[in-house]
Every structure is written in structure tokens, then in C-alpha cells.
Amino acid sequence: MKHIKTLNAQTLQNTLKKGGCGECQTSCQSACKTSCTVGNQSCENNK
Amino acid sequence: MIQKTERGFQVIHQYKNNGYNIVMDVNSGAIHIVDDVVYEVIPYMEEGWKEEAIAEKLKDRYKKEDISEAVADCEELKKAGTLFTEDIYKEHVIDFKKRKTVVKALCLHIAHDCNLACRYCFAEEGEYHGRRAFMSYETGKQALDFLIANSGNRRNLEVDFFGGEPLMNWQVVKDLVRYGREQEKIHNKNFRFTLTTNGVLLNDDVIEFANKEMANVVLSIDGRKEVNDHMRPFRSGKGSYDLIVPKFQKFAESRNQEKYYVRGTFTHNNLDFSKDVLHLADLGFKQISVEPVVSLPEEPYAIKEEDIPLICAEYDKLAAEMVKRHKEGKDFNFFHFMIDLTGGPCVYKRLSGCGSGTEYLAVTPWGDLYPCHQFVGEEGFLLGNVYEGIKNTELVDEFKCCNVYAKEKCRNCFARFYCSGGCAANSYKFHGSINDAYDIGCELQKKRIECAIMIKAALAEEE
């Protein structure tokens, strides 16, 4: 594609299919404790 | 023709940062780096304009064939489900309300006491609006039993040793880790222990034990000496920087610069906080988190609405510097710019938010349960205790329903699948409801997402 470079091919829609196992980390445990950040977490299924 | 996307829900967010034109397709999570012509064409396409009309509108600046190519590229992405994607998740929220949740993480308030007197402490120097107290081994043991019993078939269980200052009750921490290790074998669980400490009592025994047992450690320091010492003094008024820095450096090195954060708070007093982040990087730390203070406007150090432009400019400055340092081989992680675009959380996680009050609970030294550490001491949020379990199930249901679709402010925000509705405690603090959003926090969160994606774009360019 001449005009567009896509950074990530995987889409959120696809995660509906196999997501929701709940094994992922709880957001506030990592560092923040005052500001919810979910988008930076990794999926345990992908490990 | 491009169909008009659903009104009322933002499907595209585009912005320029550090020389990049970035387009976020909100509902698919796809991120595109585009040239100027696509950047200008997309808003018209989103509004449903036809190619001819766009070409006519932009004829002074772009050739007809360039517009045509840009539209064709966008149409291709739309077909692939990565541009102008509609929100298909709302229907899943209904199921979500009915979902059975399990407890998978506890924040153990090992000590409601502290050996520092940080001015901004939401724990009020460790006391959390209550009395000074240490958690006993028996209460902690009961908390771990409660966690195991309420974790269903979840294998990974997280336990954070928090305070106050948990090293003031270190023996209990060690004993609880030992107990947890015994129990995880019996119940086929995997405990991930973490520790949050101010470093005052950090010694070789703690370092050795933590390196063996703690999946992560959070080391509190605000940055430059004058900044740290102003907000993080001892009760005597003396600053803590000189005591803790060498200990933290040793600790970080002993963990191979992994699985830890030096974690600071910036306030209205140091809005030039990028200097504090870079100071920590220059001290050799590779895992850094410096976060905005959350406090009511009457506090002199509170971040005010008028501070937002300056803070956003600092985030931009920091992001650009991180790209520069990466190119020089001097990179470090900044927690709030970390973003996983390919292996990030599933949409269920993004919809459910941080898990406070449902999957994540805080335990006081005497065993009371609260939705999270920030609610401790707010008697209206008492959920039960580790001996009798959760009594206030209505409150748990309220937290269960706390998601991006329940919050008016989130419904049309491009960041909704990254912050997942934000912090319930912050919402409550500023609006008296967990289903609102802390507005200053939202603006800063949005800026951080933009910066984080720009960094990814810059790194992708190198590949």
C-alpha cells in the first residue's frame, strides 16, 4: 500500500473468539496503583 | 461508496505527533501510519463523502489520482476490518453483567504504618483514615486461603504486599510467601507475589528473598533529589533520596534490570516531570513509572485543569526523547507509554476494566475486604472480610457493571479500549460515583496513548 503502513494486523474483533480466559494480570498490581491502564497488558494466551 | 459509520460512537481518531500522521481505528484497535493525503481524506470518508466530492474539496492541494489511490487504500482496509470498523461489542456487555467473576488478585495491606511522611499519600502516612496496624500471619494466611477458595479454576493468582510500608512487617511477608508456596502445590495454583516499598528498610535479606520470590517489585521514588525530598520526607522533615537511591540501584541491578519499577508521582510542583523520568534513567534504571498525583483541587500540589497543556507537552517531549535514546542504544521503559498492539488484552478484558471490586480486592491488616486499595477506609465500600467472605454482594454487582458502556463519558472516547473506563476510585473521589470518570486523568491518559503509539510508529520505521 502506497499511502498507508499498518502497525498491527490483529484486530480486537478476533479476540472475541478465544478471549476471556481471565488468566491475565490484574491491572493495578503492576505498578500504577492510581491510574487504570489496561491496554499495555499482555494476553496470557499469547505467551 | 463508503457507508456512513454509526453516529454517536467515535470510530476513528487521528492525530499528528513527532512528524507522524497516526490513524487509530477505535473498534478494531488497528493503527495506521498514513501520508498527508490519506490523513485529509479519512475524515471525509468517515462522514460518507464520495470520492469525487473529496477530490473536488481537496483539488487545490492533491492530484485527483492521489485522492483516488488514498480512497482505494482506505476501502481495502475497511474490507479487511481495520478501518471504519463498527462497535460490535455492546451486545457482549449484557452477558458480561451476568458473568460469574472469581477473585484472582489481592492487595494485602501488610502494614498500616509508614516510616516516611509523603505529603500526597492517599494512605495518609499509612493509616488509611484509621489506626496504625500490622497484619498478623493468621490474617494473611486466611487471606490467601480466601483467595484460593474464591479463585475458581484460575491458576495465576496475584498477591501484592502493600502498605503503608510492608517492610515494617517483613517477617509476616516472608512467612506468607512460604505458606503460599505450600498451598499452590496442593491446589494447583501459581502465586505471583509482588512488593511495593519505599526502600527505607531495604537490605540484603530483602533483596535476596525478593529476587527469589517476587514476580515484580515497585520501588517508590519521585525523581530528582529536590523533587523527591520535598514530597517524600521522613517524619523529621529530612529527605529520603540519599538513603534510597543506592539501595534501589543495587536492587535493580541484582534483578538484571527486569521485573521491577522505580515508581514516582509527579504533582503540580514538578510539571516538568520529564526531567524526573530522565533523571531516573540517567541513574541507570531501565523500568520507570512516573505518574500524575490524584488529589482534590484544594491540595496545593494538586494537578489542575490548567496544567493539562503543559503536562501533555512534557509527555510529547519525553516520548521524542525516548525515541532518540532508543536510537542511541540507551533505551528504557516508561510504564505509561507501554502498549501492546499485537499481543494485548482481549476485548473482554478491555471491557471489564481493572477488575476492582470483583477480581481484585484489598485486604486491611485486620482482614476487611475492600474493592481496591484506594477504597480502604471508605466504610461504605466495605465488602466483607477474609474470615466470612464477601457480604456486600450488591456492591460487587455494581463494580461488575462498571465498564465503558456504563459510563457516559467513555462511550464516545477513542481511548475506551485502552483505559477500559478508567479508575473507579478516582471517579468516586471526584464525582461521588464509580460510573463517572476523573476528567483530568482522562485527558492525560489519552495523551499517553497517543505518545505510546507514536513511539511504536517510530520503532516500526527502523525495522
**Which pLDDT band, with edges at 50, 70 and 90, does B3 fall under?**
very low
Mean pLDDT of B170-185: 98
Chains A & B: contacts with CB separation below 8 Å: 219
Residues 6+ apart with CB under 8 A from B197: B163, B165, B166, B167, B206, B217, B218, B219, B220
pLDDT at B7 over 50: no
Q: Which of B37, B74, B158 sits opposite A25 (nearest CB)?
A: B158
Q: What number is the ipTM of this complex? A: 0.89
Quick check: B10 contacting A, CB < 8 Å?
A: no
**Grouped pLDDT means (10 residues each) for chain A, 47 residues:** 90 80 74 66 71
pLDDT at B2 over 50: no
B289 and A31: CB-CB below 8 Å?
yes
Which SS3 state, helix, strand or coil, does residue A28 take? helix
Q: How far apart are CA B272 and CA B307, in angstroms?
A: 11
Q: How far apart are CA B180 and CA B201, in angstroms?
A: 23
Q: What is the pLDDT of residues B233-257, one digit of tens each?
A: 999 999 999 999 999 999 999 999 9
Which SS3 state, helix, strand or coil, does residue B101 take? coil
Residues of chain B with Cβ-Cβ distance to A41 below 8 Å are 340, 344-345, 349
Mean pLDDT of B51-64: 97
The amino acid at A17: K
| Beta-sheet pairing, B12-17 with B384-385 | unpaired
Q: According to DSSP H, which parts of B169-307 are helical?
A: 170-187, 204-213, 225-231, 241-254, 274-282
Q: What is the pLDDT of residues B118-162, one digit of tens each?
A: 998 877 767 777 788 999 999 999 999 999 999 999 999 999 999
Reading the block at residue B354, the C-alpha cell is 481493572
pLDDT number for residue B94: 57
B347 and A15: CB-CB below 8 Å?
yes
Residues of chain B with Cβ-Cβ distance to A15 below 8 Å are 345-348
Reading the block at residue B207, the C-alpha cell is 533483596
pLDDT at B215 over 90: yes
Q: What is the pLDDT of residues B89-129, one digit of tens each?
A: 877 765 666 677 899 999 999 999 999 999 988 777 677 77
Residues 6+ apart with CB under 8 A from B329: none
Q: How far apart are CA B84 and CA B75, in angstroms?
A: 9
A36 and B353: CB-CB below 8 Å?
yes
A4 and B28: CB-CB below 8 Å?
no
Residues 6+ apart with CB under 8 A from B6: B86, B87
> Please, what sign has the CA dihedral across residues B169, B171, B176, B181?
positive
Burial class (CB in 10 A: 0-12, 13-18, 19+), B136: middle
Instruction: Give the angle B278-B279-B280 at the CA atoms, nearest 5°.
Output: 90
Among B130, B140, B126, B132, residue whose Cα is nearest residue B173: B140
Helix or strand (DSSP H, E) at A4: strand A4-6
B35 and A37: CB-CB below 8 Å?
no
* Spatial contact of A8 and A27, defined as CB atoms under 8 Å apart: no
Q: How far apart are CA B416 and CA B439, in angstroms?
A: 13
Q: Which of A2, A3, A26 sits opposite B158 (nearest CB)?
A: A26
pLDDT number for residue B1: 37
pLDDT number for residue B404: 84
Residues of chain A with Cβ-Cβ distance to B340 below 8 Å are 39-43
Q: Which of A2, A15, A22 sits opposite B104 (nearest CB)?
A: A22
Residues 247-286 of B with CB under 8 A from A: 261, 263, 265
Residues of chain B with Cβ-Cβ distance to A43 below 8 Å are 340, 343-346, 349
Residue of chain B minimizing CA distance to A18: B346
pLDDT at B191 over 60: yes
Residues 376-415 of B with CB under 8 A from A: none
Beta bridge partners of B16: B21
Mean pLDDT of chain B: 93
Burial class (CB in 10 A: 0-12, 13-18, 19+), B78: middle
Quick check: B374 contacting A, CB < 8 Å?
A: yes
Reading the block at residue B212, the C-alpha cell is 527469589
Q: What is the pLDDT of residues B13-37, one digit of tens each?
A: 999 999 999 999 999 999 999 999 9
Reading the block at residue B229, the C-alpha cell is 525530598
B354 and A38: CB-CB below 8 Å?
yes
Mean pLDDT of B39-63: 96
Q: Which of B196, B336, B460 sits opposite A7 (nearest CB)?
A: B460
The amino acid at B296: L
B349 and A24: CB-CB below 8 Å?
yes
pLDDT number for residue B6: 44
Q: According to DSSP H, which parts of chain A are helical?
A: 12-18
Q: How far apart are CA B126 and CA B133, in angstroms?
A: 9
Among chain A, residues having any CB pair with chain B shorter than 8 Å are: 1-13, 15-16, 18-20, 22-46
